[in-house]
Homo-oligomer: A and B are copies of this chain.
Amino acid sequence: MSRETDDPKTPATVTDELKSTLAAALVEDEDEDLEDLALGEDYALTPEFVAMVVDAADRADAERLRELLDALHPADVADLMGFLSPDYREAVLAHVDPEALAEIISELDTEIREDVLDAVAPATLAKALEELDSDDAADVVDDLEADKRAQVLAAMPEVERVAIETSLAYEDETAGRLMQREVVAAPQFWTVGQTIDHVRKDGDELPELFFDIYVVDPSFKPVGAVPVSLLLRTKRDTPLAQIMEPVTEIAVDLDQEEVAYIFDKYHLISAPVVEPGGRLVGQITVDDIVGVIHEESEEDILALAGVSDAGRNADVMDMIKSRLPWLLINTLTAALAVSVIKAFEDEIEKVVTLAVLMPIVASLGGNAGTQSLAVAVRALASRELSAVNALRTIGREMWVGLMNGTALALITGLAVYLLFLDLRLAIAFGIALIINLFVAALAGVLAPLMLDRMGRDPAVSSSVFVTFVTDFTGFFAFLGLAALILL
Protein backbone atom coordinates (compact mmCIF):
# COMPACT_ATOMS: atom_id res chain seq x y z
CA MET A 1 0.00 0.00 0.00
CA SER A 2 2.90 2.34 0.71
CA ARG A 3 4.54 4.22 -2.09
CA GLU A 4 8.27 4.53 -1.61
CA THR A 5 9.95 7.32 -3.42
CA ASP A 6 13.64 6.79 -2.60
CA ASP A 7 15.75 7.63 -5.57
CA PRO A 8 19.18 5.93 -5.63
CA LYS A 9 20.42 8.42 -8.21
CA THR A 10 20.68 11.40 -5.84
CA PRO A 11 23.10 10.47 -3.04
CA ALA A 12 24.10 14.13 -2.60
CA THR A 13 20.87 15.04 -0.87
CA VAL A 14 21.02 12.10 1.44
CA THR A 15 20.54 14.03 4.67
CA ASP A 16 17.56 16.00 3.41
CA GLU A 17 16.15 12.84 1.95
CA LEU A 18 16.65 10.94 5.16
CA LYS A 19 14.77 13.60 7.07
CA SER A 20 11.83 13.65 4.72
CA THR A 21 11.78 9.86 4.58
CA LEU A 22 11.65 9.75 8.34
CA ALA A 23 8.84 12.27 8.40
CA ALA A 24 7.04 10.36 5.69
CA ALA A 25 7.56 7.13 7.61
CA LEU A 26 6.01 8.66 10.69
CA VAL A 27 3.00 9.94 8.79
CA GLU A 28 2.78 6.65 6.95
CA ASP A 29 2.95 4.67 10.16
CA GLU A 30 0.01 6.54 11.57
CA ASP A 31 -1.90 5.97 8.34
CA GLU A 32 -0.99 2.32 8.44
CA ASP A 33 -2.22 2.11 12.01
CA LEU A 34 -5.57 3.61 11.09
CA GLU A 35 -5.81 1.33 8.07
CA ASP A 36 -5.05 -1.68 10.21
CA LEU A 37 -7.62 -0.54 12.73
CA ALA A 38 -10.29 0.15 10.13
CA LEU A 39 -10.73 -3.34 8.75
CA GLY A 40 -11.01 -6.55 10.75
CA GLU A 41 -9.65 -9.90 9.73
CA ASP A 42 -12.72 -10.51 7.59
CA TYR A 43 -12.18 -7.19 5.76
CA ALA A 44 -15.29 -5.72 7.38
CA LEU A 45 -15.11 -2.35 9.14
CA THR A 46 -14.40 -2.81 12.84
CA PRO A 47 -16.84 -1.53 15.49
CA GLU A 48 -13.89 0.39 17.02
CA PHE A 49 -13.27 2.31 13.82
CA VAL A 50 -16.96 3.12 13.32
CA ALA A 51 -17.03 4.34 16.94
CA MET A 52 -14.03 6.59 16.25
CA VAL A 53 -15.86 8.13 13.29
CA VAL A 54 -19.02 8.68 15.34
CA ASP A 55 -16.94 10.23 18.11
CA ALA A 56 -15.14 12.60 15.75
CA ALA A 57 -18.46 13.61 14.20
CA ASP A 58 -19.94 14.23 17.65
CA ARG A 59 -17.02 16.50 18.52
CA ALA A 60 -17.29 18.10 15.04
CA ASP A 61 -13.54 17.41 14.73
CA ALA A 62 -13.10 18.02 11.01
CA GLU A 63 -9.39 17.21 10.98
CA ARG A 64 -9.82 13.88 12.70
CA LEU A 65 -12.75 12.95 10.43
CA ARG A 66 -10.69 13.70 7.35
CA GLU A 67 -7.83 11.64 8.74
CA LEU A 68 -10.11 8.69 9.44
CA LEU A 69 -11.74 8.89 6.00
CA ASP A 70 -8.34 9.12 4.30
CA ALA A 71 -7.50 5.70 5.70
CA LEU A 72 -10.42 4.17 3.82
CA HIS A 73 -10.96 3.02 0.24
CA PRO A 74 -14.13 4.59 -1.27
CA ALA A 75 -15.77 1.16 -1.09
CA ASP A 76 -15.12 1.11 2.66
CA VAL A 77 -16.52 4.63 3.06
CA ALA A 78 -19.64 3.34 1.31
CA ASP A 79 -19.80 0.46 3.80
CA LEU A 80 -19.36 2.96 6.61
CA MET A 81 -22.41 4.88 5.36
CA GLY A 82 -24.42 1.68 5.75
CA PHE A 83 -23.56 1.58 9.45
CA LEU A 84 -24.36 5.26 10.18
CA SER A 85 -27.63 7.07 10.75
CA PRO A 86 -28.58 9.77 8.20
CA ASP A 87 -27.29 12.62 10.40
CA TYR A 88 -23.86 11.08 10.74
CA ARG A 89 -23.80 10.30 7.03
CA GLU A 90 -24.17 13.98 6.21
CA ALA A 91 -21.51 14.95 8.74
CA VAL A 92 -19.08 12.47 7.20
CA LEU A 93 -19.83 13.32 3.58
CA ALA A 94 -19.14 17.00 4.26
CA HIS A 95 -15.48 16.02 4.67
CA VAL A 96 -15.11 13.93 1.54
CA ASP A 97 -13.12 15.24 -1.42
CA PRO A 98 -15.25 16.03 -4.48
CA GLU A 99 -13.26 13.45 -6.50
CA ALA A 100 -13.81 10.72 -3.92
CA LEU A 101 -17.51 11.60 -3.63
CA ALA A 102 -18.35 10.17 -7.06
CA GLU A 103 -16.69 6.85 -6.30
CA ILE A 104 -18.31 6.58 -2.89
CA ILE A 105 -21.75 7.34 -4.29
CA SER A 106 -21.34 4.75 -7.02
CA GLU A 107 -20.44 2.14 -4.36
CA LEU A 108 -23.48 2.84 -2.18
CA ASP A 109 -26.46 0.53 -1.94
CA THR A 110 -29.59 1.90 -3.57
CA GLU A 111 -31.47 2.69 -0.34
CA ILE A 112 -28.65 4.67 1.22
CA ARG A 113 -27.73 6.23 -2.06
CA GLU A 114 -31.14 7.83 -2.47
CA ASP A 115 -30.72 9.26 0.98
CA VAL A 116 -27.22 10.59 0.34
CA LEU A 117 -28.14 12.02 -3.05
CA ASP A 118 -30.87 14.10 -1.42
CA ALA A 119 -28.20 15.77 0.72
CA VAL A 120 -25.82 16.71 -2.13
CA ALA A 121 -26.31 19.90 -4.16
CA PRO A 122 -27.04 19.33 -7.90
CA ALA A 123 -23.95 21.26 -9.01
CA THR A 124 -21.64 19.23 -6.74
CA LEU A 125 -23.24 16.05 -7.96
CA ALA A 126 -22.90 17.01 -11.61
CA LYS A 127 -19.20 17.65 -11.06
CA ALA A 128 -18.74 14.37 -9.24
CA LEU A 129 -20.53 12.36 -11.92
CA GLU A 130 -18.18 13.62 -14.62
CA GLU A 131 -15.45 11.59 -12.90
CA LEU A 132 -17.29 8.31 -13.43
CA ASP A 133 -17.55 5.99 -16.45
CA SER A 134 -20.85 6.46 -18.27
CA ASP A 135 -22.36 3.21 -16.89
CA ASP A 136 -21.65 4.12 -13.28
CA ALA A 137 -22.83 7.70 -13.76
CA ALA A 138 -26.08 6.53 -15.36
CA ASP A 139 -26.59 4.15 -12.47
CA VAL A 140 -26.42 7.04 -10.02
CA VAL A 141 -28.61 9.38 -12.10
CA ASP A 142 -31.21 6.60 -12.31
CA ASP A 143 -31.63 6.84 -8.53
CA LEU A 144 -32.36 10.59 -8.59
CA GLU A 145 -35.87 11.96 -8.34
CA ALA A 146 -37.25 13.51 -11.53
CA ASP A 147 -36.67 17.19 -10.80
CA LYS A 148 -33.23 16.73 -9.24
CA ARG A 149 -32.27 14.51 -12.16
CA ALA A 150 -33.15 17.33 -14.57
CA GLN A 151 -31.10 19.82 -12.54
CA VAL A 152 -28.06 17.56 -12.37
CA LEU A 153 -28.15 16.69 -16.07
CA ALA A 154 -28.56 20.35 -16.99
CA ALA A 155 -25.41 21.17 -15.00
CA MET A 156 -23.32 18.59 -16.89
CA PRO A 157 -21.36 19.08 -20.13
CA GLU A 158 -23.17 18.03 -23.32
CA VAL A 159 -21.06 14.92 -24.00
CA GLU A 160 -21.48 13.40 -20.54
CA ARG A 161 -25.16 14.26 -20.44
CA VAL A 162 -25.87 12.56 -23.76
CA ALA A 163 -23.87 9.51 -22.67
CA ILE A 164 -25.95 9.18 -19.51
CA GLU A 165 -29.24 9.76 -21.30
CA THR A 166 -28.38 7.17 -23.92
CA SER A 167 -27.46 4.66 -21.23
CA LEU A 168 -30.71 5.28 -19.34
CA ALA A 169 -32.68 4.72 -22.55
CA TYR A 170 -31.75 1.03 -22.38
CA GLU A 171 -33.86 -1.24 -20.23
CA ASP A 172 -32.77 -1.95 -16.68
CA GLU A 173 -30.66 -5.10 -16.18
CA THR A 174 -29.61 -5.31 -19.85
CA ALA A 175 -26.20 -5.15 -21.50
CA GLY A 176 -26.97 -1.58 -22.60
CA ARG A 177 -27.20 -0.46 -18.99
CA LEU A 178 -24.10 -2.39 -17.92
CA MET A 179 -21.86 -1.16 -20.70
CA GLN A 180 -19.65 1.89 -20.78
CA ARG A 181 -19.61 3.85 -24.02
CA GLU A 182 -15.88 4.52 -23.74
CA VAL A 183 -13.97 1.94 -25.81
CA VAL A 184 -10.68 1.71 -27.65
CA ALA A 185 -11.36 0.74 -31.26
CA ALA A 186 -8.90 0.52 -34.13
CA PRO A 187 -9.34 -0.17 -37.86
CA GLN A 188 -8.04 -3.55 -38.92
CA PHE A 189 -5.37 -2.16 -41.24
CA TRP A 190 -3.60 -0.37 -38.39
CA THR A 191 -0.33 -1.73 -37.05
CA VAL A 192 0.54 -2.29 -33.39
CA GLY A 193 2.68 0.86 -33.49
CA GLN A 194 -0.11 3.04 -34.93
CA THR A 195 -2.49 1.75 -32.26
CA ILE A 196 -0.07 2.47 -29.42
CA ASP A 197 0.56 5.97 -30.78
CA HIS A 198 -3.19 6.58 -30.97
CA VAL A 199 -3.64 5.51 -27.34
CA ARG A 200 -0.75 7.77 -26.25
CA LYS A 201 -2.15 10.76 -28.16
CA ASP A 202 -5.88 10.52 -27.48
CA GLY A 203 -5.56 9.12 -23.99
CA ASP A 204 -7.94 11.65 -22.49
CA GLU A 205 -10.95 10.48 -24.49
CA LEU A 206 -10.33 6.81 -23.80
CA PRO A 207 -11.57 4.82 -20.82
CA GLU A 208 -9.35 5.10 -17.77
CA LEU A 209 -8.73 1.36 -17.75
CA PHE A 210 -9.09 -1.00 -20.69
CA PHE A 211 -8.13 -4.58 -21.34
CA ASP A 212 -8.90 -5.17 -25.01
CA ILE A 213 -8.64 -3.10 -28.13
CA TYR A 214 -11.49 -3.85 -30.51
CA VAL A 215 -10.58 -4.12 -34.15
CA VAL A 216 -13.43 -2.76 -36.28
CA ASP A 217 -14.31 -2.81 -39.97
CA PRO A 218 -15.24 0.38 -41.85
CA SER A 219 -18.85 0.14 -40.67
CA PHE A 220 -17.59 0.00 -37.06
CA LYS A 221 -18.50 -3.64 -36.57
CA PRO A 222 -16.06 -5.51 -34.31
CA VAL A 223 -14.11 -8.16 -36.22
CA GLY A 224 -11.59 -9.07 -33.53
CA ALA A 225 -9.93 -8.03 -30.29
CA VAL A 226 -6.33 -7.54 -29.20
CA PRO A 227 -5.64 -7.86 -25.47
CA VAL A 228 -3.55 -4.92 -24.27
CA SER A 229 -0.86 -7.25 -22.96
CA LEU A 230 -0.56 -8.82 -26.41
CA LEU A 231 -0.30 -5.39 -28.00
CA LEU A 232 2.50 -4.59 -25.57
CA ARG A 233 4.57 -7.65 -26.42
CA THR A 234 4.13 -7.55 -30.22
CA LYS A 235 6.48 -5.79 -32.67
CA ARG A 236 5.34 -2.31 -33.72
CA ASP A 237 5.07 -3.10 -37.44
CA THR A 238 2.73 -6.06 -36.98
CA PRO A 239 -0.79 -5.41 -38.40
CA LEU A 240 -3.61 -5.79 -35.86
CA ALA A 241 -5.44 -8.10 -38.27
CA GLN A 242 -2.59 -10.57 -37.85
CA ILE A 243 -2.71 -10.86 -34.07
CA MET A 244 -6.36 -10.19 -33.30
CA GLU A 245 -8.41 -12.87 -31.61
CA PRO A 246 -12.07 -13.71 -32.22
CA VAL A 247 -14.50 -11.73 -30.06
CA THR A 248 -17.73 -12.69 -28.39
CA GLU A 249 -20.18 -9.91 -29.13
CA ILE A 250 -22.88 -8.98 -26.64
CA ALA A 251 -26.22 -7.76 -27.99
CA VAL A 252 -27.17 -4.45 -26.40
CA ASP A 253 -30.56 -5.75 -25.23
CA LEU A 254 -29.26 -9.00 -23.69
CA ASP A 255 -30.35 -9.64 -20.10
CA GLN A 256 -27.54 -9.08 -17.57
CA GLU A 257 -27.90 -12.63 -16.25
CA GLU A 258 -27.10 -13.97 -19.74
CA VAL A 259 -24.19 -11.53 -20.02
CA ALA A 260 -22.79 -12.84 -16.74
CA TYR A 261 -23.22 -16.42 -17.94
CA ILE A 262 -21.24 -15.68 -21.12
CA PHE A 263 -18.44 -13.92 -19.21
CA ASP A 264 -18.17 -16.84 -16.79
CA LYS A 265 -18.33 -19.53 -19.46
CA TYR A 266 -15.78 -18.02 -21.82
CA HIS A 267 -13.61 -16.39 -19.12
CA LEU A 268 -13.95 -12.94 -20.67
CA ILE A 269 -12.28 -9.84 -19.24
CA SER A 270 -14.12 -7.44 -21.51
CA ALA A 271 -16.51 -7.80 -24.43
CA PRO A 272 -17.80 -5.44 -27.12
CA VAL A 273 -21.49 -4.52 -27.06
CA VAL A 274 -23.18 -4.17 -30.45
CA GLU A 275 -26.42 -2.65 -31.72
CA PRO A 276 -28.87 -4.84 -33.66
CA GLY A 277 -27.07 -3.85 -36.89
CA GLY A 278 -23.75 -5.09 -35.46
CA ARG A 279 -22.20 -1.65 -34.84
CA LEU A 280 -19.93 -1.35 -31.79
CA VAL A 281 -21.61 0.90 -29.20
CA GLY A 282 -19.71 0.13 -25.99
CA GLN A 283 -18.01 -2.45 -23.86
CA ILE A 284 -18.70 -4.42 -20.72
CA THR A 285 -15.83 -5.21 -18.36
CA VAL A 286 -15.63 -8.11 -15.98
CA ASP A 287 -15.58 -5.97 -12.81
CA ASP A 288 -19.18 -4.96 -13.57
CA ILE A 289 -20.03 -8.62 -14.11
CA VAL A 290 -18.73 -9.64 -10.68
CA GLY A 291 -21.37 -7.35 -9.21
CA VAL A 292 -24.07 -8.85 -11.44
CA ILE A 293 -23.18 -12.40 -10.43
CA HIS A 294 -23.46 -11.45 -6.78
CA GLU A 295 -26.76 -9.70 -7.41
CA GLU A 296 -28.26 -12.59 -9.38
CA SER A 297 -27.22 -15.29 -6.91
CA GLU A 298 -28.54 -13.15 -4.07
CA GLU A 299 -31.83 -12.81 -5.95
CA ASP A 300 -31.99 -16.59 -6.35
CA ILE A 301 -31.37 -17.31 -2.67
CA LEU A 302 -33.89 -14.72 -1.52
CA ALA A 303 -36.49 -15.73 -4.11
CA LEU A 304 -36.22 -19.37 -3.02
CA ALA A 305 -36.72 -18.23 0.58
CA GLY A 306 -39.77 -16.15 -0.37
CA VAL A 307 -38.27 -12.67 0.00
CA SER A 308 -39.04 -10.34 -2.87
CA ASP A 309 -36.83 -7.48 -4.01
CA ALA A 310 -34.94 -7.63 -0.74
CA GLY A 311 -34.08 -4.21 0.53
CA ARG A 312 -30.53 -4.43 1.78
CA ASN A 313 -29.99 -1.91 4.52
CA ALA A 314 -33.74 -1.42 4.29
CA ASP A 315 -35.83 -0.13 7.14
CA VAL A 316 -38.42 -2.21 8.96
CA MET A 317 -41.28 -1.16 6.65
CA ASP A 318 -39.32 -2.20 3.53
CA MET A 319 -38.48 -5.51 5.17
CA ILE A 320 -42.15 -6.14 5.92
CA LYS A 321 -43.13 -5.21 2.37
CA SER A 322 -40.59 -7.67 0.99
CA ARG A 323 -41.82 -10.56 3.15
CA LEU A 324 -45.50 -10.21 4.06
CA PRO A 325 -46.91 -10.82 0.55
CA TRP A 326 -45.24 -14.23 0.33
CA LEU A 327 -46.39 -15.12 3.83
CA LEU A 328 -49.97 -14.29 2.82
CA ILE A 329 -49.69 -16.54 -0.23
CA ASN A 330 -48.24 -19.24 2.02
CA THR A 331 -51.21 -18.81 4.34
CA LEU A 332 -53.58 -19.50 1.47
CA THR A 333 -51.73 -22.60 0.29
CA ALA A 334 -51.40 -23.82 3.89
CA ALA A 335 -55.16 -23.39 4.35
CA LEU A 336 -55.70 -25.38 1.17
CA ALA A 337 -53.36 -28.14 2.36
CA VAL A 338 -54.92 -28.45 5.82
CA SER A 339 -58.37 -28.70 4.29
CA VAL A 340 -57.26 -32.30 3.68
CA ILE A 341 -56.87 -32.75 7.44
CA LYS A 342 -60.36 -31.35 7.96
CA ALA A 343 -61.73 -34.05 5.68
CA PHE A 344 -60.18 -36.70 7.95
CA GLU A 345 -61.31 -35.21 11.29
CA ASP A 346 -63.30 -38.31 12.17
CA GLU A 347 -60.31 -40.58 11.69
CA ILE A 348 -58.08 -38.30 13.80
CA GLU A 349 -60.68 -38.24 16.56
CA LYS A 350 -60.53 -42.03 16.64
CA VAL A 351 -56.73 -42.34 16.38
CA VAL A 352 -55.13 -39.16 17.73
CA THR A 353 -51.68 -40.53 16.94
CA LEU A 354 -52.44 -39.64 13.32
CA ALA A 355 -52.26 -35.96 14.30
CA VAL A 356 -48.86 -36.55 15.87
CA LEU A 357 -47.36 -38.33 12.87
CA MET A 358 -48.86 -36.41 9.94
CA PRO A 359 -46.60 -33.33 10.31
CA ILE A 360 -43.53 -35.55 9.97
CA VAL A 361 -44.69 -36.89 6.60
CA ALA A 362 -45.48 -33.39 5.35
CA SER A 363 -42.29 -31.85 6.73
CA LEU A 364 -39.89 -34.48 5.33
CA GLY A 365 -41.60 -34.13 1.97
CA GLY A 366 -41.08 -30.38 2.16
CA ASN A 367 -37.39 -30.82 2.96
CA ALA A 368 -36.85 -33.29 0.13
CA GLY A 369 -38.71 -31.01 -2.28
CA THR A 370 -36.55 -28.05 -1.27
CA GLN A 371 -33.44 -30.13 -1.91
CA SER A 372 -34.32 -31.07 -5.47
CA LEU A 373 -35.66 -27.57 -6.09
CA ALA A 374 -32.39 -25.90 -5.07
CA VAL A 375 -30.35 -28.31 -7.19
CA ALA A 376 -32.61 -27.75 -10.20
CA VAL A 377 -32.56 -23.95 -9.89
CA ARG A 378 -28.75 -23.90 -9.78
CA ALA A 379 -28.45 -26.40 -12.62
CA LEU A 380 -30.78 -24.27 -14.76
CA ALA A 381 -28.75 -21.14 -14.01
CA SER A 382 -25.52 -22.84 -15.06
CA ARG A 383 -27.17 -24.48 -18.10
CA GLU A 384 -26.25 -27.92 -16.75
CA LEU A 385 -29.95 -28.62 -16.86
CA SER A 386 -31.40 -27.84 -20.27
CA ALA A 387 -33.66 -29.27 -22.94
CA VAL A 388 -30.93 -31.82 -23.75
CA ASN A 389 -31.09 -33.63 -20.42
CA ALA A 390 -34.38 -32.50 -18.84
CA LEU A 391 -35.99 -35.93 -19.14
CA ARG A 392 -32.93 -37.73 -17.81
CA THR A 393 -32.73 -35.32 -14.87
CA ILE A 394 -36.42 -35.79 -14.04
CA GLY A 395 -35.88 -39.55 -14.17
CA ARG A 396 -32.90 -39.35 -11.81
CA GLU A 397 -34.82 -37.15 -9.38
CA MET A 398 -37.66 -39.70 -9.34
CA TRP A 399 -35.19 -42.44 -8.48
CA VAL A 400 -33.62 -40.36 -5.74
CA GLY A 401 -37.06 -39.58 -4.30
CA LEU A 402 -38.03 -43.23 -4.37
CA MET A 403 -34.80 -44.46 -2.77
CA ASN A 404 -34.59 -41.74 -0.10
CA GLY A 405 -38.28 -42.29 0.60
CA THR A 406 -37.74 -46.02 1.02
CA ALA A 407 -34.71 -45.51 3.27
CA LEU A 408 -36.60 -43.08 5.49
CA ALA A 409 -39.72 -45.27 5.44
CA LEU A 410 -37.77 -48.29 6.71
CA ILE A 411 -36.02 -46.38 9.50
CA THR A 412 -38.95 -44.27 10.68
CA GLY A 413 -41.50 -47.03 10.03
CA LEU A 414 -39.57 -49.24 12.43
CA ALA A 415 -39.43 -46.42 14.98
CA VAL A 416 -43.19 -45.85 14.67
CA TYR A 417 -43.81 -49.57 15.14
CA LEU A 418 -41.59 -49.74 18.22
CA LEU A 419 -43.18 -46.62 19.74
CA PHE A 420 -46.83 -47.42 19.06
CA LEU A 421 -46.67 -51.20 18.58
CA ASP A 422 -49.08 -50.87 15.65
CA LEU A 423 -47.87 -52.53 12.44
CA ARG A 424 -50.65 -51.14 10.29
CA LEU A 425 -49.93 -47.60 11.47
CA ALA A 426 -46.23 -48.10 10.71
CA ILE A 427 -47.04 -49.39 7.22
CA ALA A 428 -49.37 -46.49 6.44
CA PHE A 429 -46.70 -44.07 7.69
CA GLY A 430 -43.93 -45.71 5.65
CA ILE A 431 -45.88 -45.91 2.40
CA ALA A 432 -47.07 -42.30 2.78
CA LEU A 433 -43.45 -41.23 3.27
CA ILE A 434 -42.33 -43.02 0.10
CA ILE A 435 -45.18 -41.47 -1.89
CA ASN A 436 -44.49 -37.98 -0.55
CA LEU A 437 -40.72 -38.09 -1.13
CA PHE A 438 -41.31 -39.33 -4.66
CA VAL A 439 -43.79 -36.52 -5.35
CA ALA A 440 -41.47 -34.01 -3.63
CA ALA A 441 -38.50 -34.89 -5.84
CA LEU A 442 -40.68 -34.70 -8.93
CA ALA A 443 -42.29 -31.37 -7.97
CA GLY A 444 -38.89 -29.94 -7.01
CA VAL A 445 -37.52 -30.42 -10.52
CA LEU A 446 -40.73 -29.94 -12.52
CA ALA A 447 -41.75 -26.59 -11.00
CA PRO A 448 -38.56 -24.71 -11.95
CA LEU A 449 -38.37 -26.48 -15.33
CA MET A 450 -41.89 -25.39 -16.22
CA LEU A 451 -41.37 -21.83 -15.02
CA ASP A 452 -38.16 -21.67 -17.04
CA ARG A 453 -39.92 -23.01 -20.14
CA MET A 454 -42.56 -20.30 -19.68
CA GLY A 455 -39.78 -17.71 -19.64
CA ARG A 456 -40.25 -16.97 -15.92
CA ASP A 457 -37.58 -16.91 -13.20
CA PRO A 458 -37.47 -20.50 -11.90
CA ALA A 459 -36.46 -19.40 -8.40
CA VAL A 460 -39.52 -17.20 -7.84
CA SER A 461 -42.65 -18.93 -6.56
CA SER A 462 -41.27 -22.46 -7.02
CA SER A 463 -40.93 -22.90 -3.25
CA VAL A 464 -44.55 -22.03 -2.53
CA PHE A 465 -45.70 -24.53 -5.10
CA VAL A 466 -43.41 -27.31 -3.87
CA THR A 467 -44.35 -26.74 -0.22
CA PHE A 468 -48.02 -26.83 -1.08
CA VAL A 469 -47.66 -30.04 -3.08
CA THR A 470 -45.69 -31.81 -0.35
CA ASP A 471 -47.99 -30.64 2.46
CA PHE A 472 -51.08 -31.69 0.54
CA THR A 473 -49.63 -35.02 -0.56
CA GLY A 474 -48.19 -35.72 2.88
CA PHE A 475 -51.49 -35.19 4.68
CA PHE A 476 -53.57 -36.89 2.02
CA ALA A 477 -51.37 -39.96 1.56
CA PHE A 478 -50.89 -40.58 5.27
CA LEU A 479 -54.44 -39.89 6.45
CA GLY A 480 -55.96 -41.60 3.41
CA LEU A 481 -53.84 -44.74 3.83
CA ALA A 482 -54.49 -44.76 7.56
CA ALA A 483 -58.24 -44.51 6.92
CA LEU A 484 -57.99 -47.43 4.49
CA ILE A 485 -55.74 -49.69 6.55
CA LEU A 486 -56.65 -48.88 10.12
CA LEU A 487 -60.34 -48.21 10.21
Contacts and interface: CB of A to CB of B under 8 A. Distances in A.
A370 B233 contact: no
Contacts of A349: 349, 352
Contact of A287 (B241, B286, B368, B404): B286
A465 to B, nearest CB: 13
A263 B246 contact: no
Task: Quickly give the copy total for this chain.
Answer: 2
Nearest to A311: B375
Q: Which of A358, A375, A384 has the most CB of B within 10 A?
A: A375
A56 interface: no
A123 interface: no
Interface residues of A, number: 141
A155 interface: no
Contact of A362 (B5, B359, B399): B359
Contacts of A228: 211, 228-229, 232
Contacts of A266: 73, 75
Contacts of A301: 297, 300-301, 304, 374, 377-378
Interface of A: 1-5, 7-8, 40, 42-47, 50, 73, 75-76, 79, 82-83, 109, 188-189, 196, 199-200, 203, 206, 209-211, 217, 223-224, 227-235, 241, 244, 246-249, 258, 261-269, 286-287, 289-291, 293-294, 297-298, 300-302, 304-307, 310, 312-313, 315-316, 319-320, 323-324, 326-328, 330-331, 334-335, 337-338, 341-342, 345, 348-349, 352-353, 355-360, 362-364, 367-368, 370-371, 373-375, 377-379, 382-384, 386-389, 396-397, 399-400, 403-404, 407-408, 411-412, 415, 467, 471, 475
Closest 3 CB pairs of A and B: A305-B374, A297-B297, A355-B355
